[in-house]
Amino acid sequence: MPDRSRSGGIDGFFWSGGLPTGGLTDLFTTAGDKVKFIDISPLLPKLTELNPAYQAGTIRADVYRTQTDTPTIVVPNVPLVRKDLDADVACAITKTVFEKKDALAQANPAAKGISLENARKTDPVPLHRGAAKALGDLGAN
């Protein structure tokens, strides 16, 4: 979509993804002031009626070098595994995410938002029993 927008093939598009997204970084870099975000936050009340996972968020100006922060709607990233995944494996994966958070953040700045406080907020998806054990071990009750 960013390529088609840059070439004039489309006037706009909806996008969902982690920040920053490479295609959007490229679009803002090459198209500059011809590109802008539109505040969709007024839609949040209707969306939360559909699913409480939708939340208010912000695309900070420094992410894509825009003039101002842009209010938006976000959905948390929730890693998913099969229910029958071995609990020890799920526990190890969960602990590793927290132990390697700084390295993950170097690869993708969005990982800075990983927190024990938010780790149990997986509704409507139930927390895997192995992840629950890991979070208990890490101190998230």
Collect all residues with Cβ–Cβ distance below 8 Å to 73 and sequence separation of at least 6. Answer: 40, 41, 43, 44, 47, 54, 55, 56, 57
Q: Are 24 and 64 within 8 A, CB to CB? A: yes
- What is the pLDDT at residue 2? 58
| Six token digits for residue 23 | 């295609």
Mean pLDDT of the residues in the chain = 89
pTM for the structure as a whole: 0.73
Q: Is 58 helix (H, G, I), strand (E, B) or coil?
A: strand
Scan for tokens 């979509």, then name that residue: 1
pLDDT at 96: 97
Cα separation values, 57 from 5, 21, 86, 126, Å: 24, 16, 34, 23
Q: Which residues of the chain have pLDDT under 70?
A: 1-7, 140-141
User: Which pLDDT does position 65 carry in this prediction?
Assistant: 92
For residue 45, give every residue at least 6 positions away whose Cβ sits within 8 Å of its Cβ, in sequence order, or none. Answer: none
- pLDDT at site 6: 59
Predicted local confidence at residue 109, as pLDDT: 79
Residues whose CB is less than 8 angstroms from the CB of residue 6 and which lie 6 or more positions away in sequence, other chains included = 27, 30, 31
pLDDT of residue 34: 85
What is the per-residue pLDDT for 4?
64
Measured CA distances, 53 to 7, 47, 50, 76, 95 (Å): 34, 9, 9, 7, 24
